[in-house]
Structure 1
Amino acid sequence: MSNDAIRKALETRLNAMAPPLPTAWQNVQFTPVPGVPYQRADLLPGAPENPAFGDYYREVGVFQVSLMYPQGAGPGAADARAKAVREWFSRGTTLIADGIAVVIQRTPAIAAGYADGDRWRVPISIQYFASA
């Protein structure tokens, strides 16, 4: 099983969300446009789970989406987008990429927003597990 397939499934789903937001993908050059919201997407794999003896295991982790909105406009737009991301990755959603099933394990957690440079950051943690 490959984190590449897991990343592909999760990033494809995020990229298909409407309306689209510019996205800062991991290890890809990105320059934010002043005053324009964007999102960061980070795959944070955890230790594999072994729920049974033998060769079976499943990958687990968090797909972290951080909404980056201009400061000073209030939390409304960022909060609305965070709720939309939560619904887009609702618990039980199953994504398939390269023969790997990626399942959203829990309702995504929306953390409190905070100032980050010239942006208001709202992190959303999307827990997943994957198995072949």
Structure 2
Amino acid sequence: MSLASVRAALETALAGISPPLSTAWENTAFTPVVGTPYQRAVIVPAAPANDEIGRTYNERGFFQVSLHYPPDAGPAAAYARADLIRATFYRGATFTAGGVTVHVVGTPTILPPQDDDQGRYVLPVSINFRASAQT
């Protein structure tokens, strides 16, 4: 099992949300357009779960999506996007890629808003997952 497959499954699901939103993917060039919202997505792995003796394990962690919105526009649009993310990554949702099935283990958490270094309103959404090799 690989974290690359976990990433592919989660990123494909995020990219499929409609309406689309520009996304800053990990370690890829991205230049935000002034006055336009975008999202930044990263995988934060946790210690693998070893549920039985042997070499098998499950990947665990969370998929962090930070919604960056223009300043002074209020929070409504960011929270509407967070709701779309929750609707896609609902508890029990599964996504597959590269022989790995990723399970969303709880309702995504909308974290407290903050401002980034450009003054944008940032609303983080955290999606907890557990991934296992397909059988």
Instruction: Read off the aligned partner of 1:52 and give its amino acid letter.
Output: E
Equivalent residue number for residue 130 of structure 1: 131
Equivalent residue number for residue 75 of structure 2: 75
Structure 1-normalised TM-score? Answer: 0.97
Partners of 2:56 and 2:6 in 1: how far apart?
Answer: 17
Match of 2:90, SS state, is: coil
Partners of 1:53 and 1:30 in 2: how far apart?
Answer: 43
Equivalent residue number for residue 121 of structure 2: 120
Moved more, 12-21 or 113-122: 113-122
Match of 2:11, SS state, is: helix
Unmatched segments (≥5 aa) in structure 2? none
Partners of 2:127 and 2:47 in 1: how far apart?
Answer: 16
Q: Number of matched residues?
A: 132
Match of 2:92, SS state, is: coil
Provide Cα deviations, 1:33-70, integer angstroms capped at 9, x if missing partner.
Answer: 00000000001111101112122210001100000000
Instruction: Read off the aligned partner of 2:69 and give its amino acid letter.
Output: Y
Equivalent residue number for residue 21 of structure 1: 21
Instruction: Read off the aligned partner of 1:30 and give its amino acid letter.
Output: F
- What's the Cα RMSD here? 0.7
Q: How does 1:1-132 map to 2 (within 5 A)?
A: 1-116=1-116, 117-132=118-133
Structure 2-normalised TM-score? Answer: 0.95
Partners of 1:46 and 1:112 in 2: how far apart?
Answer: 22
Identity of aligned residues (%): 51
Unmatched segments (≥5 aa) in structure 1? none
* Alpha-carbon shift at residue 118 of structure 1 (Å): 2.1
Instruction: Read off the aligned partner of 2:5 and give its amino acid letter.
Output: A
Partners of 1:115 and 1:27 in 2: how far apart?
Answer: 22
Instruction: Read off the aligned partner of 2:123 and give its amino acid letter.
Output: V
Partners of 1:98 and 1:83 in 2: how far apart?
Answer: 28
